[in-house]
Chains A and B, each alone.
Chain A
């Protein structure tokens, strides 16, 4: 993984010093609340229901064991002993004390971590594929480009005060695991007809209140033009994006209101004027690629057999929580942060420490976070899987549910967030209990349930196969459902099922929907395929049957 230079280290330390000064000025009354809000958000600090919430950047989801141990230490020292992984691969602390945040950030800086631009109207953390570098369908490793983009976006002087937040995702594989089409800028590494690698560039995607799927603005962009093209898009957005209404300020609205053709022409015009002045040269790309070379794989890993499959629990975990690796004899292992009794994405300090040790022992000391709020050990020898499973099971991280109904994406909801209308975590737990039967769960198979506690859509409900959105009706929690959403290659926004259902009916509604699926599916059809084939009507009939009587 990328190793910081002295300059990288200096920058994050100077950022800590800057934030320390800003916090002191605010606490001394020298800096107004509105001004401090803009500045603290750009350092990931929200003021929430109970306490400030601090979002720490995990660039493209990559962490070292050393960084994990620091996250654990910070969770103990500054929080209540746990933290939360988000849908953008970042980490959140829910209970830090404002006056101590500068110290917390100084601690993180000692392991090359920071909270720069994790919130606010600026360029956010660049996200990517959690299987980068190890998947079997990869065209090229996206991480070197992610790091180049991370550096370019960090404290960019021209684009620090955009109309609204701005998110970039990069995928280097055929299968999109990074929800690229739902980002302000999405980049797919592709090959052109001459076999050269470049980027397909999408713009104008985004979730939130008005979910929109991004559109292609450049089918093939040469690597050397990466930064000039990003700059052109950002400049057009900075100058022309709406600033009169925060709900219409994302680039997706600019693209929609301007029209794709005209927007693309504006970007091209800007780009043609600047592209030769900021080329990304081959040497820089090569040097960055050298930071992401494969680890020293055991060349005989395939000789040592996979043992333990006669154990039903291990076999199930192997089936759902591990995937194929590009190197023979290795598997990619998912650590589920969706145990039935814990809020989705949460992990305790003790678990973090244990995972760090296991990563050192079994996966070259690295861990990734996925946008579905789980962790990944990317390089595990098959011979080690059984032992690793037992050790993960002992710390509650071996729930065999990756990709299944209980692998829900969920926002912190009313329990923590001042914006929420609904207690998403409690509802998630209730649904989890209803899907408790393992055989039933596995029979349902591949299913993505995404649940957000409010319109801001932090849990990406509009692209869940089943999307659940908490809404407020006269002070009561109600839930709106959508079916058929997807954040994969064939990205789609879910269609609304019908009127919102009351809190006491939400779990029943989900099990009704699943019953219709099990009844009407054809052979190996997944939930999403069935919904796409039969439409929503059969689901509506079942769910709203009571109302018709």
Chain B
């Protein structure tokens, strides 16, 4: 597993996802679901480790409006590369909710989608297949021109 952030390969990464029914310790950087964030925000932010969110494609980002203080990472979890909802989620997080932190694509997306994802505001990518690192990096610059305004 590797992370590319702002087009640079990161040396390491300490984030992990805590499922809703899992125990959470005081240390460690974790992402949680929106439901868990809403239910246990204060406890999560008291911890020594950092807190982030993991969004499913069906999640409505509007419920996070004004509620992102302390969130240091938002993961967009692609259930399948054909589901385009995370593209709109990223766009809304950046342009409507003015979220400035890291937005990271995880799960089942294609290297061929990273150019679009960067343009809607995703700035980090988790790669399950390390052999694809050169391909993903090159796909980030598939196009040098475009017709629409970017989120970033």
Which residues of A does B touch, CB under 8 Å? 7, 10-11, 14-15, 17-18, 22, 35, 38-39, 121, 151-152, 154-163, 235, 238-239, 243, 273-274, 277-278
Contact = CB atoms under 8 A, between A and B. Distances in A.
Given A35-B110, A156-B148, A238-B88, A161 B143 contact: no
Given A39-B112, A157-B119, A11 B145 contact: yes
Contact of B84 (A14, A154, A159, A277): A159
B82 A14 contact: no
B112 to A, nearest CB: 6
Interface in B50-73: 60
A138 to B, nearest CB: 27
B82 A161 contact: yes
B119 A121 contact: no
A22 B149 contact: no
B149 A38 contact: no
A10, A35, A278 pick with most chain B CB within 10 angstroms = A35
Contact of B145 (A7, A160, A162, A235): A7
Contacts of A238: 84-85, 87-88
Nearest to B117: A157
A161 B142 contact: no
A86 B42 CA distance: 60
A10 B112 contact: no
Contact of B88 (A14, A151, A154, A158): A158
Interface of B: 60, 81-85, 87-88, 91, 95-96, 110, 112-113, 115-117, 119-120, 142-150
A155 B146 contact: yes
Main secondary structure of the interface of B (DSSP, over half): loop
A161 B81 contact: yes
A167 to B, nearest CB: 17
* Chain A facing B: main interface SS: helix
Q: Which of A10, A18, A156, A157 has the most CB of B within 10 A?
A: A157
23 contacts: A18-B142, A18-B143, A35-B110, A38-B110, A152-B147, A152-B148, A155-B147, A156-B147, A156-B148, A157-B116, A157-B119, A157-B148, A158-B84, A158-B120, A159-B84, A160-B84, A160-B113, A161-B87, A161-B113, A162-B84, A235-B91, A239-B85, A239-B88
A386 to B, nearest CB: 45
Nearest to A18: B142
Contacts of A17: 142
A14 B81 contact: no
B79 to A, nearest CB: 10
Contact of A243 (B60, B83, B142): B83
Contacts of B149: 278
Contacts of B144: 10, 14
A9 to B, nearest CB: 9
B130 to A, nearest CB: 14
A479 to B, nearest CB: 34
Please provide the 9 A-B residue pairs with the shortest distance between their CB atoms, ordered closest to farther: A161-B84, A157-B119, A157-B116, A151-B147, A7-B145, A158-B87, A11-B145, A14-B143, A238-B88
B112 A161 contact: no
Contacts of A39: 110, 112
A273 B82 CA distance: 27
